[in-house]
A and B are shown apart, each in its own frame.
Chain A
């Protein structure tokens, strides 16, 4: 007490700032402590508001603008716009200002909308009602109004609104049960204990009378650590101080179970709760496509600057002759003459920049944004990804990462609730080699008898019968299950009890499943009353066993035992545990049969337990008692001593049999994982669960196969050898295989080569992650990564939430920079969901925490398959074409302008009219590519789903690599050269006629510079649109409409634009230019010729590549075509290219 007083005093006088203080004092119920004890210092704590949104109403505009102009591209456009405003440039500011405004607005609206959704989700939580006590009365308030020090009441099945110190519960013993599924993913129920001095307070008034202060550490993210003390004041006496530990702390996000209500006092609220501290800050995720887009952008910026520099230099070289700079017919104005040469040169440079700035298309960002935003609807609309059971469909929380779904290389998945249903079920038991399955269908009939046992093997003999009953009793007795108190069942009406299903509670769902399963086999555990366990046997008689000792389960022994005295007076020790810990202790029983059965079950992913017993004589029992007593009384190393005693006692068993419990896998989980692996994606399971369970699930979902060699990197193993040795051993094993692996790394379907699966646990991982100080040899991380790289599957168990994020980060930042995806359903997965490139939440039972923080949310794990293989693939090919095509069409657009500078004295004269400059990207060529990027399907979704290996065709950003980029750029340059010099030779030095005019004399006119530009522009628009038409594989009516519609629109617009003299324009340079061009035969012939020539190389390249080096996708396309040619619809169900999917394009 004195110590704490001193500490508060010290902290008060020395700290000054609250942040510095490492402990906080909370006044329970905001009551001041009695005078004299301590001065009351009201402290300021954040309220209980949870904020995941980025903007508020007030800061939206400035903050969003700032965010947007931080983007290099937007900033660049802003600069261009400002330059156009300031200096005399060839194009008007409108041409770049308008699109920029459009981009900024569209993006702002989109981000605003997304943030509004986040606000809504936050509000739903912040406004959810909470009961708390004010002046001895129960008051309902919004969750966000909760303050530190408030006394809160939580009812059964409610989630704790903040971190609470557990004061009292409706249960007499001052305990409550809590599941932390929402926090760390463990679905088992844990027991928490109320503070000793307050557990007697059962109603509001009593609680309100409590007078206490709590001192505790400042918030920190570790879920399992808490240190504090409570000072309870009774009248005017000295306060009683009690230590507080994590068993007294109820965490936000956990759910109260099997307890009517509890009272607690809030100590950490809002963003300071342990759950919130376990979140990671939301950072803007960028997709790989966007990154390569930015790289291309920088390249183009370089091209742009060099073009401008080249032209500026050439201009001044060319102008060095005064008659060129200022011939008599083209004098400068006075201010121009006076201008400083360098300033003039700089202005010229900027003017060239403005002239060529369209090479970096503003509209690309608009189109990309729109494509992502609109495209994401196809995901949300997908009927196949809608789950009828829950009524949930996929959710898209951000559309920035659509194409990243097509680039995934690593999938990190949670286990409980993601891979599994989180729902245990007893499957079978094996007694002495005979297999019993409850409720099976036998010969088409369901066995009607209450036994419901199907004997698969031959019936046991009389000895077997005895063992069988012993087995069932063992299962009924050897557990720590509690029966939920139910008022109606009080053991009074004994004949009605049997048929009433009991509700069992246990910290282990397996035990519940076992007890329930045994119930179906005829033995029912009724209750534990006054140290007597009551079970109901098949004959509906109640047997009472006296419970003598319980050796509780621990993860080192991996077994538990009970010692009971039967009604007949015999003393039995029943033990159940993992096969590995039971078999060595068995001295008799049909070990081989049981072992083979257990192994079979384990391979099928069932969680197996073995059951054994031994009979103790009275002397033996007293001996045991003595040993136990000695250990229990030890003051030091009690646990160790107890373990030694257990070890001593638990020997010489007689094996009874084994059980198998299934944590039902989610529908099609195995199929999904198999498909993902075929697609070249590495799947890692990260779970907080224990290793055996997790490994069993991994077998069940075919992550590990029967022939997978498991490498273990667990605490247990590290205890035996040093970490260093273990790592190097594993590395050696893996590398030995490496030579033969390289041959087949691509197919991933390697049946003959050895697969490796790695199992690692949290403790071992933290050892690996720990930076090393001795610096003896190499980095463990590198070795670890190397091992991982060579494993087909990795299982990480016993992971804390932040460790999950750590491992994702480790892989993410490894030298290949793979694209990662994390999928999970609980709050414990949030950190990894945020860390991974793409985070996917499963809209599951464990709340919506994960779904809300994810980038995408899906109802079931199986939907991941379609999401990646179909939607991701489509999004990727769509956006990569979009990006490349945009650069291409703008090279085509701007390069002729560049060439024209050589013919107009480098005067920045534009080739095209302003209207064409502005509208080219906005309307003439924008819609076809947008629709392409929404609708394109190079192969059908069914094929993509059936052939996961097609995913490899787009892996590693295949369509946006440098060679593709250079190809498109050169294609653009080639086309531009064709356009410009085609028109040049067509119109140069020649007279082009126009015939058929309504004129008396047939006239033969000269075309001016605007006609020249219009010819180039017409060829440009047609070529660029046709190029897209050639690339389109999926022509719906919309594509037809948009592609041909754009061309028609161009013609109609040009006719209109040149058709009248527009009164609001101060120039009429386009007047009748387009019509004159159309009325000239050679212009037509020239346009057709130039379009043909421009398209020729691309068509040729496509055909040749397809013919000579077809990719897997192209082969599929071809075979699909042949199929549809033969019979109307594709009917093949099997994989089309099983054999010949050898690495065609490594």
Chain B
């Protein structure tokens, strides 16, 4: 930008304030009154003469900016692109719409089918997953961002407010009460919580070794510790605390029986918290489990055969949905996302190219204007 500081400060201070008004010739004989000077103050602000920096965007000033942006963006883009490409990701669609799929038999399960329909999908990892692995479930065509759905929750109930627990917000309708008892947690979001169980086994010479899946640490810390709280009362017995409420219609068991561990039960169950953060788009992933790297000598998941055991409870076929299980490593910039890197490289190149074009234009036309305009 053109730096050109024109300090137009007023030359001298205020002129003597009272510039006399010649004793008003009072035409019309109206009561003359005190003629006071309305002379405006001579301040830089009032006279619109504040010192100012007056940049102008010209080819000359913008040129360097374009080159700099180009030179910065391209390396960043390359860096991101390479990082993103190094991320290992594996995805299995286990919806079971194809007749050949092992889960095809479970396609039309309903919520309350007991015992749950189970199926197993075998797969092979071509490359080892070196660092920590994140296990996601993904849903497609599931409108978690539908307005009726998004607002169908009661945050104060989830925050452990006792009055809201027994008298949930109207927003939860039609999932507010069941048989005259308030639902805890109320609302469509909670009611439709994802309840497939996924288990991962490594198949090594026909032996199935279960892989430890960590279920804590998948939710935002603040959500788990501040935003979501179990109701308070005497003692820590969640069953007693949720007294007077009923489970969501679609749930097989009440909220205080989501997990055996007390710090992951009730409203602060992390699977529940993750589900309650509504996704932005109809195709989304949610973090399901973590797989930690045991030691430095072995990758977290070696290349080889694995099997995924699914307790298939969650019906998606009715709305044409898909269900996926994703395994992914991550880098400093998150999961696999080629978009950012490519975008950076593209924008950087465009800027560089425009810089060259402008340079050309500037040389061809820029001087013409300058020389023509300035006399002397």
Contacts and interface: CB of A to CB of B under 8 A. Distances in A.
Interface of A: 90, 124, 128, 155, 157-159, 255, 323-324, 327-334, 377-378, 380-383, 386, 388-393, 845, 847, 874, 903-905, 907-910, 935, 937, 940-941, 982, 984-993, 995, 997, 999-1001, 1003-1009, 1011-1013, 1030, 1033-1039, 1061, 1065-1069, 1071-1072, 1076, 1080-1082, 1085-1086, 1089, 1092-1093, 1096, 1099-1100, 1102-1104, 1106-1108, 1110, 1115, 1117-1119, 1121-1125, 1128-1130, 1132, 1134, 1136-1137, 1140
Nearest to A1086: B340
A1071 B227 contact: yes
A1129 B358 contact: no
Contacts of B198: none
A677 to B, nearest CB: 23
Contacts of A1038: 50
5 contacts: A986-B337, A1005-B218, A1009-B150, A1085-B333, A1107-B59
Contacts of B188: 329-331
Contacts of B260: none
Contacts of B344: 1085, 1089
The 4 A-B residue pairs with the shortest CB-CB distance, nearest first, are: A329-B192, A391-B21, A1012-B280, A991-B335
Given A905-B143, A1067-B155, A323 B319 contact: yes
B99 interface: no
Nearest to B220: A1005
Contacts of B19: 388, 391
A381 B56 contact: no
Interface stretch (B236-244, B303-311, B360-368): B360-368
A1068 B227 contact: yes
B6 A1129 contact: yes
A1118 B373 contact: yes
A903 B282 contact: yes
Contacts of B146: 330, 904-905, 907, 909
Interface stretch (B25-33, B114-122, B205-213, B261-269): B25-33
B41 interface: yes
A845 B22 CA distance: 14
Among B278, B280, B290, B351, chain A packs the most CB atoms within 10 A around the CB of B280
Contact of A327 (B46, B152, B319, B332): B319
Given A329-B142, A378-B48, 8 more contacts: A157-B28, A329-B191, A330-B148, A333-B173, A388-B19, A1036-B52, A1092-B347, A1122-B374
B245 interface: no
B284 A1036 contact: no
B51 A1092 contact: no
Given A327-B143, A993-B335, A1086-B340, A1107 B40 contact: no
Contacts of B217: 999-1001, 1003
B361 A1106 contact: no
B279 A1006 contact: yes
B287 A391 contact: no
Given A323-B319, A993-B333, A1011 B40 contact: no
A910 B280 CA distance: 11
A1106 B58 contact: yes
B37 interface: yes
A699 B224 CA distance: 87
B76 interface: yes
B92 to A, nearest CB: 15
Contacts of A1009: 144-145, 150, 278-281
Given A391-B38, A1099-B62, A991 B285 contact: yes
Nearest to A871: B48
A1068 B156 CA distance: 8
B127 interface: no
Given A389-B22, A393-B39, A1118 B370 contact: yes
- Most chain B CB inside 10 Å of its own CB: which residue of A937, A1076, A1107, A1132: A1107
A330 B149 contact: yes
A1130 B27 CA distance: 45
Given A158-B28, A1118-B373, A1119-B373, A1061 B227 contact: yes
A800 B56 CA distance: 51
A799 B59 CA distance: 56
A1140 to B, nearest CB: 6
B373 A1081 contact: no
A468 to B, nearest CB: 38
Interface string B219-244: 11111001100000000000000000
B8 A1140 contact: no
B50 to A, nearest CB: 4
Contact of B280 (A1001, A1011, A1115): A1011
A1065 B169 CA distance: 12
Interface of B: 2, 4, 6-8, 19, 21-22, 25, 27-31, 35-42, 46-48, 50-59, 62, 69, 73, 76, 80, 134, 136, 142-156, 159, 169, 171, 173-175, 188, 191-192, 217-223, 226-227, 274, 277-287, 290, 292, 315, 318-320, 328, 330, 332-337, 339-340, 343-344, 347, 350-351, 354, 358, 361-362, 365-366, 369-370, 372-375
A946 B57 CA distance: 24
B330 A847 contact: no
Given A941-B48, A991-B335, A1012-B280, A1006 B221 contact: no
B333 A1033 contact: no
A851 to B, nearest CB: 13
A985 B143 contact: no
Contacts of B155: 1065-1069
B370 A1122 contact: yes
Task: Please indicate which of the listed interface residues A124, A904, A993, A1140 has the most CB atoms of chain B within 10 Å of its own CB.
Answer: A904
Contacts of A392: 38
Contact of B143 (A255, A377, A907): A907
Nearest to A328: B318
Nearest to B281: A903
Given A1068-B227, A1115-B369, A1035 B58 contact: no
Contacts of B278: 1008-1009
A324 B350 CA distance: 42
Nearest to A1003: B217
Given A380-B40, A985-B339, A1061-B159, A1034 B52 contact: yes
Contacts of A1121: 2, 4, 54, 56
Contacts of A1102: 57
B22 to A, nearest CB: 7
B373 A1140 contact: yes
A383 B47 contact: yes
Given A905-B282, A1004-B287, A1107-B59, A997 B351 contact: no
A70 B155 CA distance: 43
Nearest to B249: A331
A1009 B37 CA distance: 62
Nearest to B19: A388
A1008 B280 contact: yes
B19 to A, nearest CB: 5
Nearest to A327: B319
Nearest to A1129: B6
A1072 B333 contact: no
Nearest to B30: A128
Contacts of B153: 1067
Nearest to A1068: B155
A155 B52 contact: no
Contacts of A1006: 274, 277, 279, 284-287
B220 A1072 contact: yes
B40 A986 contact: no
B21 A381 contact: no
Contacts of A1132: 375
Contact of A1125 (B4, B55, B284): B4
A1118 B56 CA distance: 8
Given A1100-B354, A1118-B373, A1124-B6, A1085 B80 contact: yes
B50 A1036 contact: yes
Contacts of A330: 143, 146, 148-149, 152, 188, 192
